[in-house]
A = this chain, B = another copy of it.
Amino acid sequence: MDDKIPGVTIRRLPVYLRVLRQLQTENVEIISSAKLSQRTGFSSEQIRKDFAYFGAFGTRGVGYQTDVLRKTLMKILGLDKGIGVAIIGAGNLGTALARYNIERHEEIEISAIFDNDPDKIGTKIADDVTVSSIDDLEAIVGEKDIKMGVLTVPPEAAQDVAEAMVSAGVKAFLNFTPVKLEFEDANPYVQNIDLSVEFQSLAYYTNLDG
């Protein structure tokens, strides 16, 4: 039941989760891969393959129970227990992400946001989120058992901050800086989101006919 799940599959799970939440508000108790296909845009075969990685939990001739499916996917992603996140860099993007995230994800909690600007430290970004000094990074990350870091610092600070976080126990990063992070002993998971890449690559398609 736990043979190396491809990253592409993992990244589809939150989409399934979103649809399943919707379906539950609509009181839909059973759903077929074909219907899920309509709602997600993924092919029905792909959906069945994805679910099969976690063992078969559909019923042939019937479909999947939305409730069971949702709970299973939550558990696989580890969203059944709360996850603490720290955002490093309380600039435009960091602040926006803190607020954005708090609105949407109960399971993923912004536990702290850090900056090195004295004017920002102590500022309240959102309910329950106040900017801490980056000097307290390791202490707070350890204390609050933070496992996930979001990097929205200037590029030159990224590598150092990331290393400090890893030694404090962070296992995974959302890296919004254009820096290719490298680690010696530890091997945290790094998901890069490079907004320059998004904007500039999109330019290519504005010149094409479609």
A residues with a Cβ closer than 8 A to B are: 10-11, 13-15, 17-18, 40-41, 76-79, 83, 85, 92-93, 95-97, 99-101, 104-105, 107-108, 147-148, 171-174, 178, 180, 186-189, 191, 193-208, 210
Contacts and interface: CB of A to CB of B under 8 A. Distances in A.
29 contacts: A13-B204, A14-B200, A15-B197, A17-B200, A18-B178, A77-B201, A78-B204, A78-B206, A83-B203, A85-B199, A92-B95, A92-B96, A92-B99, A92-B100, A93-B96, A93-B97, A96-B96, A97-B195, A101-B195, A105-B200, A108-B199, A147-B206, A171-B207, A174-B202, A186-B210, A189-B210, A191-B201, A191-B202, A193-B193
A208 B196 contact: no
B196 A14 contact: yes
B208 A189 contact: yes
A74 to B, nearest CB: 9
A101 B203 CA distance: 14
A37 B193 CA distance: 20
B11 A206 contact: no
Contacts of A15: 178, 194, 197
Contacts of A178: 15, 18
A143 to B, nearest CB: 17
A153 to B, nearest CB: 13
